[in-house]
Amino acid sequence: MMSVLLEVKDLKVHFPIRGGILGRTVGHVKAVDGISFYIEKGQTIGLVGESGSGKSTTGKAIMGLAPITSGQILFEGEDITRQVRKNRSPYRKTVQMIFQDAYSSLNPRKRVNDIIAEPLRNFENLTPAEERKRVDELLAIVGMPAANAAKYPFEFSGGQRQRIGIARAIALKPKLIIADEPVSALDISIQAQVLNYMKDIQEELGLAYLFISHDLGVVKHMCEYLTIMHNSRFVETGTRKDIYESPKHIYTRRLISAIPDVDPLKREENFAKRNALVEEYDKNKTKYYSEEGKVYDLRNIESTHYVAIPEGYVSEQKLGGEQI
Amino acid sequence: MEDTLLEIKNLKTSFRIEGNYYNAVDGVDITIKKNEVFAIVGESGSGKSAMALSIPRLHNLNYTKIDGEVLFNGRNILSLTEKELNEVRGRGIAMIFQDPLSALNPLMKIGKQIEESLTYHTDLGKEAKKERAIELLTEVGMVNPELTYSQYPHELSGGMRQRAMIAIALSAKPELLIADEPTTALDVTIQAQILDLLRKLQKETKSSIIIITHDLGVVAEIADRVAVMYAGQVVETASVFELFKNPQHPYTRSLLNAMPTTTKDNTRLHAISGVVPPLQYMKRTGCRFSPRIPWVESSEHEENPTYHEISPGHIVLCSCYKNFKIDNSKKEAEVK
């Protein structure tokens, strides 16, 4: 695999729980508990999970915003696990992040011009004229007139703020962008604008995205490959087709069946399906989780499709039952 | 009509901004029948929540004016005194909100909060109230109702809190439940559970539900009839089957095309140009959606938009729906 951009090996992020008057560590919250994956150049990987599944912590750990307990992060084949938390390392330049709440990630007292130019000033020595030109270019890429550079973040709508966030993220020509719920706070029409821009920019700049979201509709639209996260671990990984058309793990199947269908004629059917799955979930839970409730390791069941099941489970019993 | 529960006539709700009042709800007529789920859908700023809060008159009247008529079982709620209104609130109309944690009392156990409502609306004794509270908690699907009874809101998960809210809302057996974005803050599996629960309870009690949402998926799952709101007006009303099969108003169709639905492939999404304008700058004449579909000729719009009945019960505002086509090529329209 020549073109692997980022590889994560057995990543763990455990946060200590302190208790007692001495503040000793009494336990750990295992936010991320042993996950491995890789992203190829120009690819979009979706990371889906419900709140508390550890998906945001994964993104933060890759950005160096959360401490890595163990595991390795390789960028273009080089182990950079120790570099990610260092300021001004070259890695910081090539991996950028966009956040859910664009407004709180933009400094309210700075003009758009300064916000977008900040990464340029940190990493590149540009003359004021060059910098100005670059900022205008970046604004044009996200579809904003250059006149906006003199405005403050509060003067913009939610979608425009998110686009400013994107312009800042692509200022240093990164190779990978970690997008943590980039459209969750936006109205549907604005969400469409931002998603379209993200796709355009990806083509133009050859970007890879790690697209973190709880919204299975958005992820299906954006990502060719995706992985489902639950209880700090991966339960299922595969192509869009693998996951949406033949989900195998009971958790994935429940998640997919919970997506509201836009066809009102199917709702009774969906309702019955959901109920059947909840029953099956209660009955068969022990088969999909270990005694401590831990998700098993991923196992390959088809060329691109991996499911977290115990050893030998596939041969014993047909997985997945009826189709969703 | 026999089966009419709530009739909203020419409702105008205005907020005070820098001394002037601006209509957030601008002349809405809606009729809710008995035993139905009515969805109101729109983006933020469309006036859907402002309208919902006007029904039980929950706005702070220092900053808000409500005009028009809200007839609940034939009585105009807007002309009731506060005391009379409190009779209607709870027993007649109950409400649940998006964020149950801020709607629940953090210092009071769940069971006591249900009992509080029972004290106001029923004349049950102490023991009977506790029994009824636990019964309600069971009805809304709490796994361990006795335990939940003596828990505080912070001890519950988001979905459980919303269930507790529903239990409180149902305690007085309301004829109408208004649910303002009840599942927006919840995970998708929990959302499905809450929607299924609301649907089941509605069928059992034969009451009516008004559900306010921005999510057309939620509408398709639960509603019987739908009103689409834009800039303070209802732009389209139809049965849920008709709306999804045969959407007419440009706004409805734009919204449906902007959805990254789970059934479509990764084609380009339709992005509606511009944004819902803020109240002060909202266009008050002509078709209010016209600035967001700039490629539509002005002759397509009516000067004073009227409602057109396309088929029985399917009503659309303004004539611009007739020749409307979704235009995906207008990338520059997104720039602004």
Final residue belonging to a domain, choices A230, A259, A282: A230
Mean pLDDT, to the nearest integer, of A42-62? 91
Give the gap in angstroms from C-alpha A188 to the nearest C-alpha of chain B: 6
Same structural domain for residues A291 and A313? yes
Sequence-ordered alpha helix ranges (H) in chain B: 48-54, 82-88, 100-103, 110-121, 126-139, 145-149, 158-170, 188-205, 216-222, 240-245, 250-258
B221–A contact, CB cutoff 8 A: yes
Which residue has better confidence, A301 or B252? B252
- Residue A323 clears pLDDT 80, i.e. is over it: no
Pairwise CB contact (< 8 Å): A157 & B334: no
Same structural domain for residues A244 and A221? no
Same structural domain for residues A60 and A205? yes
Kind plus residue range of the DSSP H or E element containing A275: helix A267-288
Structure confidence at residue B318 (pLDDT): 92
Structure confidence at residue A322 (pLDDT): 44
Q: Which of residues 166-195 of B touch A (CB under 8 A)?
A: 187-192, 195
Average pLDDT across chain A, whole number: 87
Pairwise CB contact (< 8 Å): B275 & A190: yes
Could you tell me if residue A23 is inside a domain? no
Same structural domain for residues A105 and A226? yes
Residue in A closest to B251 by C-alpha = A189
Mean pLDDT, to the nearest integer, of A144-167? 88
Choose among B76, B83, B65, B67: nearest CA to B6. Answer: B76
Could you tell me if residue A32 is inside a domain? no
CB neighbours of residue B247 within 10 Å: 23
- Residue A160 clears pLDDT 90, i.e. is over it: no
Give the gap in angstroms from C-alpha A36 to the nearest C-alpha of chain B: 25
Tell me how many residue pairs between chain A and chain B have CB atoms under 8 A apart: 124
Number of domains in chain A: 2
Cα distance between residue A152 and residue A156, in whole Å: 8
Chain A residues in contact with B188 (beta carbon < 8 A): 50, 214-216, 255, 258-259
Cα distance between residue A236 and residue A251, in whole Å: 9
Q: In what order do the strands lie in the sheet with B75-76?
A: B20-33, B4-17, B64-72, B75-76
Structure confidence at residue B55 (pLDDT): 93
User: Domain of B13?
Assistant: 4-92+174-334
Across A37-51, A166-180, B139-153, B256-270, least confident range? B256-270
Residue in B closest to A244 by C-alpha = B262
Structure confidence at residue A324 (pLDDT): 38
Number of domains in chain B: 2
Q: pTM of the predicted model, to two decimals?
A: 0.86
Same structural domain for residues B160 and B299? no
Structure confidence at residue B333 (pLDDT): 41
Mean pLDDT, to the nearest integer, of A309-322? 56
Structure confidence at residue B264 (pLDDT): 60
Structure confidence at residue A319 (pLDDT): 52
- Residue B175 clears pLDDT 60, i.e. is over it: yes
Mean pLDDT, to the nearest integer, of B109-116? 94
Percent of chain B with pLDDT over 70: 95
Identify residues of A whose CB sits under 8 angstroms from chain B CBs.
50-51, 143-145, 157, 159, 187-193, 195-196, 199, 214-218, 220-222, 244, 254-255, 257-265, 267, 270-271, 274-275
B271–A contact, CB cutoff 8 A: yes
- Can you give the CATH number for the domain in which A225 is found? 3.40.50.300
- Residue B30 clears pLDDT 70, i.e. is over it: yes
Give the gap in angstroms from C-alpha A196 to the nearest C-alpha of chain B: 7
Percent of chain A with pLDDT over 70: 95
Same structural domain for residues A142 and A272? no
User: Domain of A134?
Assistant: 44-67+83-230
Choose among A185, A186, A255, A248: nearest CA to A220. Answer: A255
Same structural domain for residues B151 and B217? no
Final residue belonging to a domain, choices B134, B157, B173: B173
Mean pLDDT, to the nearest integer, of B190-194? 88
Residue in A closest to B194 by C-alpha = A258
Final residue belonging to a domain, choices A209, A230, A251: A230
| pLDDT band with cut points at 50, 70 and 90 for residue B336 | very low
Structure confidence at residue B232 (pLDDT): 92
Same structural domain for residues B57 and B194? yes
Mean pLDDT, to the nearest integer, of B154-181? 91
Q: What is the pLDDT of residues B229-270, one digit of tens each?
A: 999 999 999 999 999 999 999 999 999 888 887 556 557 788
Strand A306-308 relative to strand B37-41, pairing? unpaired
Mean pLDDT, to the nearest integer, of A266-271? 88
| pLDDT band with cut points at 50, 70 and 90 for residue A131 | very high
Across A157-161, A304-308, B71-75, B306-310, least confident range? A157-161
Could you tell me if residue A21 is inside a domain? no
Chain A residues in contact with B331 (beta carbon < 8 A): 143
Residue in A closest to B252 by C-alpha = A189
Same structural domain for residues B120 and B46? no
Give, rounded to a whole angstrom, the gap between the first and last alpha carbons of chain A: 33
Asked whether the CA dihedral A201, A204, A209, A211 is positive or negative, the reply is positive
Final residue belonging to a domain, choices B110, B139, B173: B173
Mean pLDDT, to the nearest integer, of B23-38? 94
Average pLDDT across chain B, whole number: 89
Could you tell me if residue B214 is inside a domain? yes
- Contact between B74 and B102 under an 8 Å Cβ cutoff? The reply is no
Backbone angles phi, psi at B72, to 5 degrees: -110, 115
Same structural domain for residues A299 and A155? no
Q: Which of residues 67-106 of B touch A (CB under 8 A)?
A: none
- Can you give the CATH number for the domain in which B24 is found? 3.40.50.300
